[in-house]
Structure 1
Amino acid sequence: MVVQVPLAPRLLLTIVLLAPSARQTHQEEVRGSVTPNASLAGEEDRRGEANTNTARGDSEEWRRHLEQLGRLIDDILERVSSLPGEGALLPEVAARRRSQQLRCAAFICDDAYDGVVGAVPLREGPEDDGLPAKGAIRSWLPVFTHRVGEEESLQRPGPETRAMLRAVAKDGCRMLLILMEDGARVGDLLRYGDRERELDTRANYVLLHDPALFRPEALYLWRKVVNVLFLKVHGSPPWFELTTVKFPSWGDETGSDLVDVWSRGAFLLPAQSSQPRPLFREKTHSLRGKTLGVSTFDHMPSAVRDQPSDGLEFHGVEIEILTTLGEFMDFQAQLSDVEGLSNSAGDNRTGGLAGSVARGEADIALGNLFYMPASLRHFDLSIPYTVQCQTFLTPESRLDNAWLTLVLPFQGPTWASLSAALLAGGFLFRAVAALHHRVTRAGGTGRPFATLGDAVLYSWGMLLQVPTPAVPAPWPLRALSIAWWVFCLLAAAAYRSSMTAALSAPPPRLSFDTLADLAAAPDDLICGGLGDEGRRIFSTALDEPSRRLSERFEALEGESAMPMAVASRVAGGHFAYYENEYWLRAARARYLESLEEAEEGGPPAENGVHYDLHVMRECAFTLPVSVGLATNSPLRARVDGLLRRMVETGLVTKWLADVMAPTLEAERRLKGAGEERVLMDLRRLFGALLALVAGHILAGVAFAAEVAIGRRDRRPVGDVKANLIPISNRNQVFTEDSPVASAAPTSAPVRATP
């Protein structure tokens, strides 16, 4: 690995201007060591290793080397944790804010560098400057220290090392210093931490420069660990060259950039502004046109495959997010189409979206990934940009209720109230008539409510708007009759209007709208979803309906999970599909459009019977959705910041509305076409015909009973003249006690009406 040092002339000028005259000898050493086109590997690396080994052989030189290295680490920590305007703060406040910025530091070393932290006294230099003196690492920053044994293999560290790594990750330490004599062991530790995700690769790392860290098998680390400083020692007394990896890098090689030079307690390169020169600069702000691999698959609404004639391969919410990220971060996206989340065997390491990321083929994964532990095992997920309703696409049928035409206008409680009112009305009329007769001692008992049977019959007749044969004479009965007539008019008008609405409305639909309804369905109704993640979600749910659904959950992959295949299977009446609401609505719209275009009624269902498609109203789960990144991706912080701005400005909502616009238009058109006119046919009158037939049957039974009873009990008809009422007295009110014969007129008699 060759490193160009274009800042050498500026470095020499800075040393001449800033260093005191006492350092002339050291300036000559630095001038001879840092030259243009200097190599950080090869022969110089071997010479540096030889100098280090020689110094280690001399205990005094090695102690001096460790002391200078400890001073450098103190200066690095001070530079990284420095705050703007901290001179105006109290020392305790400045120390607390510094510790909050880094939280803590982790120091991992071997036997050779075990004494670096304690090699420098805790107090040296002036104590009245308001800041901790150099060498006082432990005075203001918590430090984890761990020494790795010589025999410990860092390809699979021991339990103590793993416990220390987990503690560092849990406490959120932003600085890791790994100082080991053997660079290969450092590479093993970094590869283990990346593989097991026990190291925060987005933290700041300080490592000793070693050619073993840049072997081909370790180069992929520097595309993840980008905030790194390599300390390379030169000369005696030692001075250090601080370098970092280039990011982004092109090709398989990883270049290095010079960050600063440290010697005798000072950084030698000048600051570019009033602030100190940054040791860990932001590298993901601009990727300078680098091409990033992006894997996705057809899944609504994140990425929808376009027709070949459209010129674009995909569109969707996450495609728009990717385009915006590319514009702000200055990178080019190379899309690749994969088959779902994983292969049919369920091995996420070899197939699908997770497989492409695991093999290093993709830096970004777009596939409507839920922020859940199952996704976090294979991806680094951004902050959620939306939440989605996960529900079911279920079959729906129409209820044939033509035989209930006469009872449809009112519901059960209304019918019960009307029945109670009818029964109470007859008794009320008879009770008022009897009470009036008892109180007034008037002749007669109040026709036409003289008997209980007449009272019930005439009160029911009023409901059918049949008037009574005579107006009752008592005023209490007249007032009650007026109130009863008003009640009957209102009830009849309500029944007629409800009957009209029931006959003009389409038959009701039978659908599943809750998880309880779906769980109570017959066992031949199978549930399914993309992959096996749905089964795991339902099996770990706390409610009983979800656990029951997990027992008959079927995982689909490939062609069987395509929208048309899923909708056709659901239309067969024995399948329900689990997905997000937008996917299900789009699949239903596409299927109904295909039925509309086909002359024969569309593709046949499984059992030859077509059911309507219904999206369940209740959300089984509401899950957050994120953009997937490669594990330990250095882009996550930058992507999170930009994605948060997209959400806050409403861009994600706007893009979702754009993606769903064709589906909404299709739903409106299909709904208008499906609103067929309800014509009055023989099937709609089935209930009325059924009532007519039932009435004839009951009338026949009543007539037969009357004939049988009449033959058994024959009585004389009586005097015909006694049953005649004169025409002139037809409007006279009669009572039971008034003799009919005394009212007989001299004119021609007629038969009295009943």
Structure 2
Amino acid sequence: MVFSTLIKLFLFYHLLHGCDAKLSPIIKDLHESKDLQLVLIDMLNGQARRHDVTCVVVICDTVYLNVFDGAMFKRILSVPMVMIVVEEYEDLLSPNFDTLESLREARMDGCNIYIILLANGLQVSRLLRFGDRTLFADKTSNLNGEALNVVYFDHAPSVVIMKMNDSSKVSGVEIEILNTLSQQMNFKPKLYQPNNIEVHKWGQKLANGTFSGLLGEMVNGKADVALGNLQYNPYHLELTDLSIPYTSQCWTFLTPEALTDNSWKTLILPFKLYMWIAVLLVLLITGIIFYGLAKYYMNLQELKKEKPFLESNKNIEKQEYVFEPSEKPVGLYLFGEIINSILYTYGMLLVVSLPKLPTGWSIRLLTGWYWLYCILLVVSYRASMTAILANPAPRVTIDTIKELVDSKVTCGGWGVETKKFFEKSTDETQKIGDRFELVDEPFEAANKIAKGVYAYYDNKDFLKYLSVKRKNSLINVDKAVNATINDTDIVSTDTERNLHIMTDCVVNIPISIGFHKNSPLKPLADIYLARIVEVGLVEKWLNDAMNPIRVQETNENEIKALMNLKKLYGAFIALAIGYILSLIGLIGELIHWHCVVKRDPQFDKYALDVYYAKNKKQ
């Protein structure tokens, strides 16, 4: 073995001796100062004097190759040395055949000192990982039933605690992942929660420098694994080792809904503003056209009565014009005055038939086509009105960050780091950080949201869980006290806003499982976790965790086509407006009768027809 090592040393020595000293310009200054050579000489001579060096393996690249020249070998004690020169493009996590055989041969020869001089840090890290995997057996593949402390925090859908009588069952996506890892790596998870977990939750840094909650268990080394919807961010990475993310969650706000009480506008809702403007314009224009045509025919009839003789071809002949019954001015009084014309045109729009069919083919044709227009318009209005009365009242929701910023509602969430995230933002979300409040209890935040003054920040699945839990708890309370509660109390609960999850995501955050720093469990756990994600088990477990929440979710107004008195407010308002206008008109007529008509010297209450006939002529 010693002889083969010496042969290797001799060959590498001649190889180095024949190399150009100026092979690498990067090491030129270092080559001239000999600083690195002196360090290596002192280190090797110091080890050799203690007689515990059997062989030295030097792994370097072309950058550091010039360090090992003939002068260096003359100044070190007689120590067998193996030189391995790797290319700059070689992946040392999976070395090529020559490098691998050299390392194996050096190991068989008993070399116990390895000197690594590589300019590429990535190559060094991958070589160390390869050496660790080659020299040391992986003991995490089978932990032989070892008990591992697993700290957890209840946060859907990662970890869900279900109360059953006096006991509780822990489930969720991360619990299923933990069970799979325990089977593959053969360990027994010992689940526990820290003291005062309801108060400290994930935990934060205290005044004395320690950490509380779930993170405190990891920092203090009391737990091997942490479950609790840990975000893959620099803050958590600084305190723990995180597995590869097994999912990505949409983090957004739970906001209040605003009911739009527009029942008083029911009559005008079927059409938009521009449609109503078009309808009114058509009504006025058509009424004016009817009035113009009626006046034309009335003037034509008068002209025919006054001039019974017609001129034709410059020869004046006296002819007597005979009126036929069909040409009598029947129905022209309907449109003879502008006010009557507008009213009867409006009556046709409301599908009220005319008392008489007017004279004149032009008016008749216009009446027919206007009736077709009125029928189409009324049918559209009725269909839209039916849909409005059948559907529930529309709700105003906050679905974008801009709408949340403009709403001025107070925002909140858990943890100082969350507040810093918004405060350090460079876009409009920074305004949210200015009014962001820290919240320790999400259900209290949900109560404030129901009052319409708050918005709570978390992942979408947990916000759905929070909304459904609160809604069902209120339903259960109402059922329990239904026998003693009065009507006024019931009405007070109706004034609360529904909870709405904002559609837009503020950020999509990867979620991981936590391990304590430099945990040997993480590399193999990452491999198994990647396989779990690839086969779709995480998605399946997520659906299983959220399925009870979806089952408990109760949809409001399941019977959509439900009429109530509130939806007819618009009709009553229109009726009230009509009564008020009619009353004003009646009062005006009475004032005119007593203040104008009765004070006229020509007024005779016993001959009103004569009085009105004289006024009409005037």
| Structure 1 residue identity aligned to 2:246 | Y
1:54–1:704: structure 2 CA closer, same or farther, 3 Å change rule?
closer
**Partner of residue 680, structure 1:** 564
Structure 1 residue 173 corresponds to structure 2 residue 125 = yes
- Structure 1 residue 648 displacement after superposition: 1.9
SS of alignment partner, residue 588 of structure 1:
helix
Match of 1:379 among 231, 240, 259: 240
CA contact (8 A) 1:437 1:445 kept: no
Spell out the pairing of 1:641-720 with structure 2 (5 A cutoff).
Answer: 641-667=527-553, 670-671=554-555, 678-681=562-565, 683-709=566-592, 712=596
Alpha-carbon separation, structure 2, partners of 1:621 and 1:663 = 23
**Partner of residue 395, structure 1:** 256
**Partner of residue 446, structure 2:** 567
CA contact (8 A) 1:385 1:647 kept: yes
Alpha-carbon separation, structure 2, partners of 1:172 and 1:367 = 35
| Structure 2 residue identity aligned to 1:626 | S
1:540–1:436: structure 2 CA closer, same or farther, 3 Å change rule?
farther
SS of alignment partner, residue 407 of structure 2:
coil
Spell out the pairing of 1:201-212 with structure 2 (5 A cutoff).
Answer: 203-204=129-130
Match of 1:101 among 92, 101, 109: 92
Render the CA deviation track for 1:335-367: whole Å, top value 9, x for unaligned: 221332214848884212222121222222212
Spell out the pairing of 1:615-654 with structure 2 (5 A cutoff).
Answer: 615-654=501-540
| Structure 2 residue identity aligned to 1:366 | L
- Structure 1 residue 575 displacement after superposition: 2.4
Spell out the pairing of 1:23-42 with structure 2 (5 A cutoff).
Answer: none
1:475–1:634: structure 2 CA closer, same or farther, 3 Å change rule?
farther
- Structure 1 residue 431 displacement after superposition: 5.0
- Structure 1 residue 658 displacement after superposition: 0.5
**Partner of residue 64, structure 1:** 78
Structure 1 residue 495 corresponds to structure 2 residue 381 = yes
Alpha-carbon separation, structure 2, partners of 1:690 and 1:673 = 25
- Please report the RMSD computed on the Cα atoms of aligned residues, expressed in angstroms: 4.5
The higher relative CO (CA closer than 8 Å, separation ≥ 6) is in 2
Q: Structure 1 stretches of 5 or more lacking a match?
A: 1-14, 24-46, 79-94, 105-128, 138-142, 147-163, 177-202, 206-226, 229-277, 724-754
1:695–1:145: structure 2 CA closer, same or farther, 3 Å change rule?
same
CA contact (8 A) 2:150 2:227 kept: yes
**Partner of residue 70, structure 2:** none
Percent identity over the alignment is: 32
Alpha-carbon separation, structure 2, partners of 1:372 and 1:53 = 45
Alpha-carbon separation, structure 2, partners of 1:469 and 1:587 = 65
Structure 1 residue 579 corresponds to structure 2 residue 458 = yes
CA contact (8 A) 1:103 1:172 kept: no
Structure 1 residue 540 corresponds to structure 2 residue 427 = no
- Structure 1 residue 49 displacement after superposition: 8.1
**Partner of residue 416, structure 1:** 277
Render the CA deviation track for 1:528-569: whole Å, top value 9, x for unaligned: 11212221222233432x222111111223xx24xx433334
Alpha-carbon separation, structure 2, partners of 1:521 and 1:721 = 64
- Structure 1 residue 19 displacement after superposition: 10
Alpha-carbon separation, structure 1, partners of 2:609 and 2:250 = 83
SS of alignment partner, residue 51 of structure 1:
coil
CA contact (8 A) 1:348 1:354 kept: no
SS of alignment partner, residue 257 of structure 2:
strand
More deviation, 431-440/617-626: 431-440
Match of 2:366 among 470, 480, 483: 480
| Structure 1 residue identity aligned to 2:523 | A
1:345–1:618: structure 2 CA closer, same or farther, 3 Å change rule?
same
**Partner of residue 593, structure 1:** 472
Alpha-carbon separation, structure 2, partners of 1:648 and 1:513 = 32
- Structure 1 residue 403 displacement after superposition: 2.6
- Structure 1 residue 103 displacement after superposition: 9.2
Match of 2:186 among 310, 318, 330: 330
1:671–1:383: structure 2 CA closer, same or farther, 3 Å change rule?
same
Alpha-carbon separation, structure 2, partners of 1:665 and 1:133 = 62
- Structure 1 residue 678 displacement after superposition: 4.1
**Partner of residue 551, structure 1:** 434
Alpha-carbon separation, structure 1, partners of 2:265 and 2:369 = 31
**Partner of residue 163, structure 2:** 307
1:358–1:493: structure 2 CA closer, same or farther, 3 Å change rule?
same
- Structure 1 residue 64 displacement after superposition: 2.2
**Partner of residue 153, structure 1:** none
1:329–1:481: structure 2 CA closer, same or farther, 3 Å change rule?
same
Q: Structure 2 stretches of 5 or more lacking a match?
A: 8-46, 57-72, 107-114, 305-328
SS of alignment partner, residue 368 of structure 1:
strand
Alpha-carbon separation, structure 2, partners of 1:329 and 1:130 = 34
Structure 1 residue 528 corresponds to structure 2 residue 528 = no
More deviation, 476-485/443-452: 443-452
- Structure 1 residue 426 displacement after superposition: 1.6
- Structure 1 residue 324 displacement after superposition: 1.0
Spell out the pairing of 1:606-617 with structure 2 (5 A cutoff).
Answer: 610-617=496-503
CA contact (8 A) 1:388 1:625 kept: yes
Spell out the pairing of 1:147-166 with structure 2 (5 A cutoff).
Answer: none
Spell out the pairing of 1:737-752 with structure 2 (5 A cutoff).
Answer: none
SS of alignment partner, residue 582 of structure 1:
helix
Alpha-carbon separation, structure 2, partners of 1:498 and 1:131 = 80
- Structure 1 residue 704 displacement after superposition: 3.4
Spell out the pairing of 1:137-536 with structure 2 (5 A cutoff).
Answer: 145=117, 168=121, 173-176=125-128, 203-204=129-130, 227=132, 278-279=134-135, 281-307=137-163, 313-338=169-194, 339=197, 340-343=201-204, 345=206, 349-431=210-292, 447=332, 448-522=334-408, 525-536=409-420
1:470–1:313: structure 2 CA closer, same or farther, 3 Å change rule?
closer
Alpha-carbon separation, structure 2, partners of 1:721 and 1:531 = 86
Render the CA deviation track for 1:257-293: whole Å, top value 9, x for unaligned: xxxxxxxxxxxxxxxxxxxxx4455444333333332
SS of alignment partner, residue 465 of structure 1:
coil
- Structure 1 residue 659 displacement after superposition: 0.5
- Structure 1 residue 657 displacement after superposition: 0.7
1:344–1:465: structure 2 CA closer, same or farther, 3 Å change rule?
farther
CA contact (8 A) 1:341 1:348 kept: no
Alpha-carbon separation, structure 1, partners of 2:436 and 2:176 = 33
Render the CA deviation track for 1:430-450: whole Å, top value 9, x for unaligned: 455567899999857992433
| Structure 1 residue identity aligned to 2:121 | V
Render the CA deviation track for 1:14-40: whole Å, top value 9, x for unaligned: x9xx999x99xxxxxxxxxxxxxxxxx
Normalized per residue, the structure richer in helix is: 2
SS of alignment partner, residue 307 of structure 1:
strand
CA contact (8 A) 2:256 2:452 kept: yes
